[in-house]
């Protein structure tokens, strides 16, 4: 089974103008180029991306549905500000999805290609103060978590976990210069992977839920 890398949206060469605008805007929101609370007008966005207002409007409609933007009548679009209760719901949902993914993956076991892929992603760390290494870490973290969902064999879980990652990556980018917890995350990933490899579903689920809970606590502390 071929494992895939999931990262934040990037524009495709042959995509429609609206899709291209959507990918660029989403990437800029997630990576913090557009700050939380920032106002974004259609005119300014069209000028920024050298594109007409119509595809910008279509792209913004998709980002509204994904809760990355909100619309204030007569004022324009604003980058959403995550609220504490929303973060609680987000991580509760993440725990449900990823706990089930780890449990199902442990039931199925891992093929050699899957194990090698996940081992590589799990071992990735970053150097504090080195933005490039942190960005690589975020990409590998996404690939690890989506990879476990793929190992579960449930396509709906794969899609749900991949879709959720845009919100998780946004939080990781927001805390990019705060804290140094790469080694701890790497250990947690390794323990989850060990439980899946050993075909211990309850343990895999338990470790994943603990991992998500610790991530939630760190985010609430750092933001």
Structural domain total, the chain: 2
Same domain, 198 and 111: yes
Q: Is the residue at 3 inside a domain?
A: no
Q: Is the residue at 65 inside a domain?
A: yes
Q: Which domain holds residue 39?
A: 17-79
Answer whether 18's CB lies under 8 Å from 55's CB. yes
Same domain, 162 and 52: no
Same domain, 67 and 141: no
DSSP string, 13-46: TT--HHHHHHHHHHHHHHTTSSPTT-EE-HHHHH
DSSP string, 32-87: TSSPTT-EE-HHHHHHHHT--HHHHHHHHHHHHHTTSEEEETTTEEEE----HHHH
Residue 116 to residues 74, 109, 139, Cα–Cα distance (Å): 53, 13, 17
Q: Give the contacts of 118 (CB within 8 A, at least 6 positions apart).
A: 3, 110, 144, 147, 148, 151, 193
- The residue behind tokens 């619309």 is 71
Same domain, 42 and 115: no
Same domain, 53 and 152: no
CATH number of the domain enclosing 51:
1.10.10.10
Instruction: Answer with the one of 30, 52, 79 that is the final residue of a domain.
Output: 79
Same domain, 179 and 192: yes
Output the tens digit of pLDDT for each of the chain's 223 residues.
Answer: 455 555 554 544 435 899 999 999 999 999 999 999 999 999 999 999 999 999 999 999 999 999 999 999 888 999 998 888 889 999 999 999 999 999 999 999 999 999 999 999 998 878 777 788 888 889 999 999 999 999 999 999 999 999 999 999 998 888 776 666 667 888 999 999 999 999 999 999 999 999 999 988 888 876 6
Same domain, 209 and 129: yes
Same domain, 110 and 162: yes
Q: pLDDT at position 125, please?
A: 77
């Amino acid at each position: 089974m071929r494992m895939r890398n999931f990262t934040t949206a990037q524009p495709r060469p042959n995509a429609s103008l609206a899709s291209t605008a959507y990918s660029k805007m989403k990437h800029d929101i997630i990576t913090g180029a557009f700050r939380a609370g920032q106002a974004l007008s259609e005119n300014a966005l069209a000028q920024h991306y050298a594109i007409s207002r119509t595809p910008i409007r279509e792209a913004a409609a998709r980002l509204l549905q994904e809760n990355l933007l909100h619309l204030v009548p007569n004022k324009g679009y604003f980058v959403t500000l995550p609220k504490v209760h929303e973060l609680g719901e987000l991580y509760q949902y993440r725990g449900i999805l990823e706990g089930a993914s780890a449990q199902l993956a442990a039931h199925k076991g891992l093929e050699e290609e899957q194990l090698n892929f996940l081992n590589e992603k799990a071992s990735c760390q970053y150097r504090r103060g080195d933005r490039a290494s942190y960005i690589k870490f975020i990409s590998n973290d996404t690939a690890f978590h989506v990879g476990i969902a793929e190992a579960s064999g449930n396509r709906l879980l794969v899609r749900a976990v991949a879709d959720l990652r845009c919100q998780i990556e946004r939080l990781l980018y927001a805390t990019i210069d705060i804290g140094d917890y790469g080694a701890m995350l790497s250990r947690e990933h390794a323990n989850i992977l060990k439980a899946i490899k050993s075909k211990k579903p309850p343990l895999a689920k338990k470790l994943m839920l603990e991992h998500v809970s610790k991530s939630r606590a760190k985010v609430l502390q750092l933001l």
